[in-house]
Amino acid sequence: MELPKSLQAKLQQRQANTALRQLPKAKSLVDFASNDYIGFAHNENLFHQTHQYLLAHNIKTNGATGSRLISGNHNLYEVTENFIAQFHQAEAALIFNSGYDANVGFFSSVPQRNDIILYDELCHASIRDGIQMSHAKAYKFQHNDTEDLEKLLLKFKPETRNPQLATIYIVTESVFSMDGDSPNLEALTQLAQKYKAYLVVDEAHALGVFGEQGEGLVQSSGLQEQVFARIMTFGKGLGCHGAAILGSAELKSYLVNFARSFIYTTGLSPHSVATILVSYQHLAKEKETLALLKNNIIFFNQEKLRLGLKPMFVYSKSAIQSAIIPGNDTVKHIATQLQQQGFDVKPILSPTVPEGQERLRFCLHSYNSQAEISNVLELLSTFVF
């Protein structure tokens, strides 16, 4: 059956803007594109340890069989959630099927009608989608700008706002997915305390990257007690699938009762949950791998400086390094040239990022060699200068 004309027009417009998304074919290139920051997704030991764990505990079920509130809450969930909570020094953890599900579930259910959500303008689409599903009023503040945030907080502080506006939520990410930069978390916690607001931090791109055990930026900064909720996503640094929301036991109970993306979906399979558990257990021992990633981040930044590329990159000390190259056609052309030379570097196009902010997004890993980093940046310098 033919696609409706209105939908055809949208596809044609996307194609005219050279922004039509297509599923890529797998290629054997040097990986500067995936979120597998410390190589867990391809770690054979983790694969075999997960299998052995399931056998040792006589777990031979392929699927969850239903939502967790009906038949899908197998015992492994409790073991894994307890381990995650202890690892992250949180009172409780609740596993969701994905980071997207976690954000949509949290923001669509926790902020109530007449509450206020103040969110960083570059927050991830999953956060924005959850906010749109909420009945709360939402306002964005300029990216990583605590002064702009405080202006909004002053506007809605308890003494001046309608008494029915019960709660203010401040929302940010510890590492932003497209820029790779981080907010001043300490300043945000201070603002939250000053204005009696609730701070929520998405740590999707910090898990496995920051901290002595890859515990994330909030915890490695010693701020976990001052954050209302943390969203940890497992499809990046942990190399598997799923997510967890960290917070109080009361918050966990609330989400079990009201987060629709948790309630109305089949749970993860025992194999998926076992992979999460084994990956966390492995993360606690992976100091050498974490050190390799940190060294590669430092080396990448040094090479940017050496080659005169630093001005085109967004400031970042994370595994995400973005070179701003305006124009969909231009950035796609340079990405293709790098791929033809054997390096998997992806262009990020508008409308995924604002027009004029198109970029090459380099994802660094513990398994990238310094020679690969030097080579890809030297090639980039020849293409842009």
In order of start, what are the domains of the chain with their CATH numbers?
Answer: 28-41+286-384 (3.90.1150.10), 61-283 (3.40.640.10)
Helix (H, G, I), strand (E, B) or coil at 179: coil
What pLDDT is attached to residue 160?
57
Bond before 4 cis per omega within 30 degrees: no
172, pLDDT greater than 70: yes
Residue 117 bridge partners (DSSP)? 138, 169
Chain segment 13-70, per-residue pLDDT in tens: 998 888 888 888 877 899 999 999 999 999 999 999 999 999 999 999 999 999 999 9
Angle between helices 287-306 and 370-384 (to 10 degrees): 30
Q: Extract the tokens encoding 239.
A: 């190399």
Region 208-237: mean pLDDT is 97
CB crowding 246-267: b at 16 or more within 10 Å, else e = bbeeebbebbeeebebbbebeb
Please tell me the predicted confidence (pLDDT) of residue 165. 58
What pLDDT does residue 164 have?
58
Q: Each residue of 324-342: pLDDT tens digit?
A: 999 999 999 999 999 999 9
Mean pLDDT computed over 200-226: 97
Q: What is the pTM of this model?
A: 0.94
